[in-house]
Amino acid sequence: MIIQRKKLKIGIIGIGNVGLQVLKDIQSNDKINKFLNVEKILVRDKDKYLNILESEFGVDSPVLEKLTDDFNNFINSDIDTVVELIGGSNPAKEYVKEALNYKKNVVTANKEIIASSIEDLTSSAILNNVKIRFEAAVGAGIPLIEVLIDMLKQNKISKITGIINGTSNYILSSMHNSNKSFDESLKEAQNLGFAESDPTNDIGGFDAMYKASILGSIAFGGKVPIESIAVKGIENLSQKDISYSKELGFVIKLLAVSENKSSKIYSKVAPYLVPENHPLAKVSDNYNAIEIKGDLVGNLWFQGQGAGKLSTTSAVIGDLLGIENSTSGNLALEDNELNFLSDDETVGKKYIRLNVEDKFGVLEKIAGIFSRNKVSIASVIQKEVDAKGLADLVIMTHESLENNLKNSLDEIQKLNFIKEDPKTFEIYKL
Ligand SMILES: NC(=O)c1ccc[n+]([C@@H]2O[C@H](COP(=O)([O-])OP(=O)(O)OC[C@H]3O[C@@H](n4cnc5c(N)ncnc54)[C@H](OP(=O)(O)O)[C@@H]3O)[C@@H](O)[C@H]2O)c1
């Protein structure tokens, strides 16, 4: 006996990069449109999108009749599933909340609203007896959310480490491989469409912070608010640090590291020096890679294109096709109040670069301050003295308490032979 599955009646909000690709794939792929039917498309400017859809599907296409610029008309139609693809926080969040209240399933690729309102939105879906899925919000088409919610739920997850922002990874790869400056590499990423004209969210680490919050909230069984995540971007990274790290056998990567250590959660997004033979060091360009450590399953490794309209469309359509029978669509965050470790309480090894006047007694003074603050030095390398009589000191520390390190650097910064703000980077712990 062949059981006919009922077709989902879909309403799409936002026909940008991803929205248009989702629409094109549903319209053109028989494997997909057997199960999905687009009934409504909500846009802000109907004339603009009439032109876009006419040139994409032809002037006689029935798709043109689905366009509306009126949310009431959209939500009161007989769609059963809303696909939110406008991004940003508002009105995206209001639309998603309304859709759930109107008892429509929701699929979204929006990391911002899921990171800020995961409890709110998932519990609203349960109360309204519908589903919400958001696989594309982290790692685009790389399967992570469904895997964490459904397939790894029997595991206690102790650590998630990832390169989860393709733009910053592209910039860092270009600085490392082609010796380009940060500005040149950013421009290159923008020209290739890997970085937006306003790159703040990517290079400042905020995009990775949203994604780390989502992964952590699912993996650790309670909300990991973005405010609990220590964030440092790559915007102040110079070619000097890239090349000194290279000489020392490291590659600098923007990592999101989330750990559950003795029932305290710690999450940080920052540039890390990763040993050059570690698999994360080899993840280049706009690729993402995520390592998940579970008590039963051990270390799992996921890698792929974590952005781009095709990869994102794969996740959005996957969410739609599986929504009726999905467990992940019914995510119920556990009612756990998680405990968090503050950044100051964490322990790690550091790379520190100090630009100093090359004169007698400098090293002794710096070493004394570190020692008084219980920061133990593993090595010091003095780079060549420049024409102005200044030299870089590259200091690698043993494991030290973050708070002690900050106190040392506060003191060191005030010394009159220090000529630039100290540069500090994490060293990745294997
Ligand atoms: N692109 C990727 O690689 C990628 C990867 C993973 C996740 N995502 C997520 O996918 C979502 C969409 O990304 P995208 O790259 O497609 O963005 P995009 O190209 O900027 O498209 C956004 C679309 O939303 C429309 N829009 C904005 N506000 C609207 C409103 N109030 N009502 C109706 N339409 C509205 C915009 O139309 P107008 O401005 O023309 O009105 C535009 O067409 C975002 O949440 C993004 O974070 C994207």
Mutate to test the pocket of ligand 1, among 13, 17, 75 (most ligand atoms within 8 A of CB): 17
Q: Are 270 and 254 in contact (CB under 8 A)?
A: yes
Ligand 1 mean position, distance from CA 424 (Å): 36
| 124 and 174, same domain (yes or no) | no
CATH number of the domain where residue 412 is located? 3.30.70.260
Query: 361: domain range?
Result: 344-427
Ligand 1 mean position, distance from CA 261 (Å): 37
- Number of separate domains in the chain: 3
| 15 and 161, same domain (yes or no) | no
| 286 and 163, same domain (yes or no) | yes
Residue ending a domain, choose from 292, 325, 340:
340
Ligand 1 mean position, distance from CA 207 (Å): 15
Tokens of 241: 């640090």
Q: What is the pLDDT of residues 165-208, one digit of tens each?
A: 999 999 999 999 999 999 999 999 999 888 888 999 999 999 99
| 68 and 178, same domain (yes or no) | no
Tokens of 4: 């006919």
| 85 and 154, same domain (yes or no) | no
| 209 and 295, same domain (yes or no) | yes
Cis peptide before 279 (omega within 30 of 0): no
| 169 and 195, same domain (yes or no) | yes
Q: What is the pLDDT of residues 66-76, one digit of tens each?
A: 999 999 999 99
Is residue 317 one of the residues assigned to a domain?
A: no
CATH number of the domain where residue 217 is located? 3.30.360.10
Atom of ligand 1 nearest to the CA of 45: 41
Catalytic residues: 211
Mutate to test the pocket of ligand 1, among 85, 170, 214 (most ligand atoms within 8 A of CB): 85
Is residue 316 one of the residues assigned to a domain?
A: no
Q: What is the pLDDT of residues 21-37, one digit of tens each?
A: 999 999 999 999 999 99
Q: What is the pLDDT of residues 130-154, one digit of tens each?
A: 999 999 999 999 999 999 999 999 9
Residue ending a domain, choose from 116, 137, 158:
137
| 109 and 76, same domain (yes or no) | yes
Structure confidence at residue 2 as a pLDDT band (50, 70, 90): low
| 161 and 300, same domain (yes or no) | yes
Does the beta carbon of 306 sit less than 6 angstroms from any atom of ligand 1? no
